Amino acid sequence: MSVSSVNEQDLIDRFIQIDPAGGCADARVIGHAVPIWALIGYWLANGRDIDRVAQDYDLPRAAVQAALVFYERHTGIIDARMQANIVRVG
């Protein structure tokens, strides 16, 4: 993923809030109830289309980019959180 001229850490600082209780696994988009793991799961299931995720979740494109940068930095934790949800639901 390329985030053009925007600094990746600035994106994270602007859009991502780490949950004090759940840590990185339960990080969310600031000002929205949507957790990063849900955005990533949706992004993966829908052809890795950033614009579709932004539209369907009513988020700025930059917020989705921030979620993807955050995911790149915390892949193992977020993948484990998604897997835990599959086990609970399935």
Please list the ranges in the chain whose pLDDT falls under 70. 1-6, 87-90
pTM > 0.95: yes or no: no
What is the per-residue pLDDT for 1?
A: 47
Specify whether domain 8-89 bears CATH 1.10.10.10.
Answer: yes
Predicted pLDDT of residue 5: 43
Domain locations in the chain?
Answer: 8-89
Please say whether the beta carbons of 55 and 2 come within 8 A. no
Q: At what angle do helices 36-45 and 75-89 cross, to 10 degrees?
A: 80
